[in-house]
Amino acid sequence: MDELNSFETYFKDVLRRTLSPPWRKKEVVIQLDAIGVQSVPIILFSISFAAVVTIMEYAYHMKLVIQTANMVPGFAALLILRELGCVITALLLASKVGAGISAEIGLMRITEQIEALRLLQIDPIRLLVVPRVLATILSAMALTVLANGACVFFSMLMSISNLSYSMGTYFSAMNRFASFKDLILSLIKAAVFGFVIPIVSCYYGLSCEDGAQGVGRATTLAVVTNAISIIVLDFILTWLFSHLY
């Protein structure tokens, strides 16, 4: 496809169409359901275990170094809100949604459905990419909030059962270090990750080569590129946000 000659051209096209109406609201809602709602169970399930492991590890480290587990909820909440909640959510979204988008659009490409859309004077980027970009940004933000909530809840349960904390002392220790600003910054990170995942996935889908092997390759490349992009972007954003503290 002409517009896929370079990623730069494709990116500019997506950005221009994402920022200008019409946005095909019905398609956005369908994608919000597929990307956001249907990802809730897998993300909450995974993040709960991550929260429990965080508390266990912090308790071990604290007892090893300063012989007390007093600061565990504070440090754990800080890590959850600043990193764990948004990064794990984004990585899970990349593997679940990113692979799905790439395979779906890749299959449309090799069965010439994209070409058919173009013949019908329908812009494939506006129809396929923009709703997924909008839905993934919104879903990533909402899922990050829910993941943070679940993470804090399960780390609290773990602290109560293993470290003899009460609910009040847990939140008091949490508030000593974590602040609402951490949640806001994690939402900004989530929005950036939510913007990158569909753009990368759709790009590999739209430039998919023929055959089942081509779809498989596009899917793998989408997941790998998304994972690397998320980790690198997380570093860049964390470095930028470090100037705000």
Partner 1 sequence: MKVETRVGLFFLGAVITVVAFAWLMGVVNPFSNSYALFVQYNFAGGLEVGSPVRVMGIKVGKVESIEFVPDQRDQQGNEVKLKIKISVSKRAKEALRGDSKFFINLAGIIGEKFLEITPGSLSLPIHEAGAVVRGEDPPRIDQLLSQGYGLAGKLLDIVSKNEGSVGHTIELLDHLVTNLNRTLVQLDKTTKNVEISTLLKTCGI
Q: Under the rule (CB under 8 A), what is the footprint of partner 1?
A: 29-30, 32-33, 36-37, 40, 66, 68, 70-71, 138, 141-143, 145-146, 148-149, 171-172, 174-176, 178-180, 183
SS3 category, 67: coil
Q: How far is the CB of 111 from partner 1 (least distance, A)?
A: 25
Cβ–Cβ < 8 Å for 205, 102: yes
Q: How far is the CB of 183 from partner 1 (least distance, A)?
A: 5
CA distance 46 to 109: 33
Output 70 or 95, the one with its CB closest to partner 1: 70
Q: By CB neighbour count within 10 A (0-12 exposed, 13-18 middle, 19+ buried), where does 242 fall?
A: exposed
Count other Cβ atoms within 10 Å, centred on residue 166: 11
Output 16 or 25, the one with its CB closest to partner 1: 25
Q: How far is the CB of 76 from partner 1 (least distance, A)?
A: 15
Output 101 or 206, the one with its CB closest to partner 1: 101
Q: How far is the CB of 141 from partner 1 (least distance, A)?
A: 7
Output 5 or 68, the one with its CB closest to partner 1: 68
Cβ–Cβ < 8 Å for 140, 190: yes
CA distance 87 to 94: 10
With vertex at residue 37, the alpha carbon angle to CA 127 and CA 12, rounded to the nearest 5 degrees, is 35
Q: How far is the CB of 74 from partner 1 (least distance, A)?
A: 10
Output 5 or 175, the one with its CB closest to partner 1: 175
